[in-house]
């Protein structure tokens, strides 16, 4: 049987934390007694997923102010910076909580832990793997209570590297980790210029996702079609087509479709404007609450007969998120006035960069026999049409928790 697969690999890494001077600072000894373990949350709180959704929308809107495709993982960004927030204090912590849309109260890290325990999947036709790690300058000590929290809630282990004496080897070690955790899709994450003699700590998070459609495409239906662009222009692109039962929502200015993956724990949701120029209007009215309302309305629709057309996709992005995070109000963390005494004290630390790198590939695999069998049922009646043949917004959603793992837009195409 032909299997249409979506492979997504997202990594946020190089949350680079530096000392405020070139002098190496060694932490004072902390008491040896172990902290009392925090209670383990059985379920991730709903406001955590809502906060990650709102963060994703805000970053999408700011990154999307520039032309081109956008692809990001709000879950990955929120998780990696959650490990930083665990050691933030005072005004630094307050700014981070507001900018990153963390829910109020003391249960954030327990909620993160519950979410990170719930999201992974290792089943036939779908995989989600999440990994966290801390890369620490040798002889630079982190607080034991901080390390304990990151281990318990984020499952992040610390490894010693030498940013000062052997920066190239340190970079190679972290890049190998990124490569291994994403099945070879994220390469050359860190460049040499990102490491200085002041670098003390790098925190990394990876999310790897691979899924088969619940209702697969057939290779025999793949063909060249025009991808419509604003201004009456178009470019040729490779499109996949199938006819099956899908949920479709019609709203003023756009249509939305849910394409579930095998097992139905996860789905891709596509939002396609009526006109090729309509994505800018869609983006302008996009908010977290509106997105939730559209998703709820879409999931309440009954599946119906639909001709579903979408392009094959391949997309790689890599960018520093510092300007966007600063614009959201997270400013102090990137200055010498940063307060990260919960990570290491009396050492003075500050963030120097936050890098987000993603990879997306949508392709087809299968056998010819299934393609012939599936083709027979496609000429019974006139189906409803859903053609993602113009710039569109999309997201990958964990239906169990409501968490948005990935979101982005396709405004230009490279033919596969």
Domain CATH number, residue 91 = 3.30.497.10
Here the tokens at position 59 are 């970053």
Q: Please say which residue of 325, 342, 361 terminates a domain.
A: 361
Q: In CATH, what number is assigned to the domain containing residue 229?
A: 2.30.39.10
Q: Out of 19-28, 58-67, 89-98, 383-392, which region has the weakest mean confidence (pLDDT)?
A: 19-28
- Is residue 415, in this structure, part of any structural domain at all? no
> Which pairing describes strands 126-137 and 156-161: parallel, antiparallel, or unpaired?
parallel
Q: Give 58: exposed, middle or buried? Use CB within 10 Å, 0-12, 13-18, 19+.
A: buried
Here the tokens at position 247 are 């949920």
- Is residue 379, in this structure, part of any structural domain at all? yes
Long-range contacts of 252-260 (CB under 8 A, 24+ apart): 253/278, 253/281, 253/282, 254/278, 254/282, 255/386, 256/294, 256/298, 257/298, 257/306, 257/308, 257/386, 257/388, 258/298, 258/299, 259/213, 259/214, 259/215, 259/308, 259/310, 260/213, 260/214, 260/215, 260/399
E-assigned strand segments in 304-402: 304-311, 313-320, 349-365, 384-387, 392-398
Give the integer Cα–Cα distance in Å for 97 and 94: 5
Same domain flag for 303 and 207: no
Burial 334-368 (b: 16+ CB within 10 A, else e): beeebbbbbbbbebbbbbbbbbbbbbbbbbbebee
Same domain flag for 304 and 371: yes
Q: Which of 95, 59, 36 is nearest to 338 (CA)?
A: 95
Q: Please say which residue of 337, 361, 385 terminates a domain.
A: 361
Q: How many domains does the chain have?
A: 2
Q: Which residue has the higher pLDDT, 194 or 67?
A: 67
Same domain flag for 199 and 65: yes
Q: Is the peptide bond before 346 cis (omega within 30 degrees of 0)?
A: yes
- Is residue 149, in this structure, part of any structural domain at all? yes
Give the integer Cα–Cα distance in Å for 281 and 273: 9
pTM (predicted TM-score): 0.86
CB atoms within 10 A of CB 36: 6
Same domain flag for 205 and 223: no
- Is residue 36, in this structure, part of any structural domain at all? no
Same domain flag for 342 and 297: no
Same domain flag for 243 and 333: no
Same domain flag for 226 and 249: yes
What residues contact 297, with CB distance under 8 A and at least 6 apart?
249, 251
- Is residue 34, in this structure, part of any structural domain at all? no
Helical axes 108-118 vs 74-85, angle rounded to 10°: 140
CB atoms within 10 A of CB 239: 21
Which residue segment(s) compose the domain that 219 sits in? Answer: 214-311+365-410
Same domain flag for 236 and 157: no
Same domain flag for 141 and 260: no
Contact of 389 with 239, CB cutoff 8 Å: yes
pLDDT over 70 at 234, yes or no: yes
Same domain flag for 376 and 301: yes
Q: What is the arithmetic mean of pLDDT over 65-88?
A: 91
pLDDT tens figures, 14-60: 455 666 543 333 333 333 333 333 444 445 566 899 999 999 999 99
- Is residue 31, in this structure, part of any structural domain at all? no
Same domain flag for 51 and 139: yes
Q: What is the arithmetic mean of pLDDT over 234-251?
A: 94
Number of residues written out for the chain: 416
Confidence band of 371 (pLDDT split at 50, 70, 90): very low
- Is residue 399, in this structure, part of any structural domain at all? yes
Q: How many helices (H) and strands (E) are present in the chain, helices listed first?
A: 10, 16
Same domain flag for 179 and 147: yes
Give the integer Cα–Cα distance in Å for 190 and 13: 8
Confidence band of 383 (pLDDT split at 50, 70, 90): low
Q: pLDDT at position 202, please? A: 87
Here the tokens at position 215 are 């209702």
pLDDT tens figures, 307-329: 999 998 888 888 889 999 999 99
């Amino acid at each position: 049987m032909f299997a249409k697969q979506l492979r997504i690999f997202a990594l946020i890494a190089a949350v680079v934390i530096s000392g405020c001077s070139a002098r190496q600072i060694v932490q004072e000894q902390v008491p040896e007694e172990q902290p009392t373990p925090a209670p383990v949350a059985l379920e991730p709180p709903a406001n955590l997923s809502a906060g990650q959704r709102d963060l994703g929308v805000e970053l999408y809107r700011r990154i999307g102010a520039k032309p081109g495709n956008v692809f990001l993982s709000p879950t990955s960004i929120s998780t990696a910076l959650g490990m930083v927030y665990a050691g933030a204090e005072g005004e630094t912590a307050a700014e981070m909580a507001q900018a990153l849309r963390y829910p109020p109260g003391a249960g954030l890290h327990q909620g993160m832990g519950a979410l990170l325990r719930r999201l992974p999947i290792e089943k036939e036709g779908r995989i989600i793997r999440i990994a966290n790690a801390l890369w620490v300058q040798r002889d630079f000590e982190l607080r034991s209570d901080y390390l304990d929290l990151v281990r318990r809630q984020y499952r992040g282990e610390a490894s010693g590297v030498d940013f000062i004496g052997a920066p190239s080897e340190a970079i190679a070690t972290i890049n190998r980790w990124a490569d291994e955790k994403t099945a070879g899709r994220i390469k050359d994450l860190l460049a040499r210029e990102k490491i200085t003699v002041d670098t003390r700590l790098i925190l990394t998070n990876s999310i790897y996702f691979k899924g088969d459609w619940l209702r697969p495409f057939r290779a025999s239906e793949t063909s060249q079609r025009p991808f419509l662009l604003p201004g009456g222009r178009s470019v040729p692109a490779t499109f996949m087509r199938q006819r099956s039962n899908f949920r479709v929502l019609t709203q003023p200015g756009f249509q939305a479709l849910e394409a579930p993956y095998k097992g139905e724990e996860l789905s891709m949701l596509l939002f396609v404007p009526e006109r090729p120029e309509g994505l800018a209007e869609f983006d302008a009215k996009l908010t977290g609450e509106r997105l939730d309302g559209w998703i709820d309305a879409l999931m309440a629709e009954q599946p119906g007969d639909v001709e579903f057309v979408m392009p094959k996709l391949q997309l790689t992005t890599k960018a520093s998120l510092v300007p966007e995070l600063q614009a959201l109000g997270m400013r102090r963390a990137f200055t010498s006035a940063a307060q990260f005494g919960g990570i290491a004290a009396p050492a003075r630390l500050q963030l120097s960069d936050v890098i987000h790198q993603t990879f997306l590939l949508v392709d087809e695999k299968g056998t010819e026999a299934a393609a012939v069998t599936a083709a027979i049922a496609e000429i019974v009646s006139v189906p409803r049409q859903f053609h993602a043949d113009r710039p569109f917004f999309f997201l990958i959603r964990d239906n169990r928790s409501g968490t948005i793992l990935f979101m982005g837009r396709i405004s230009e195409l490279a033919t596969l």
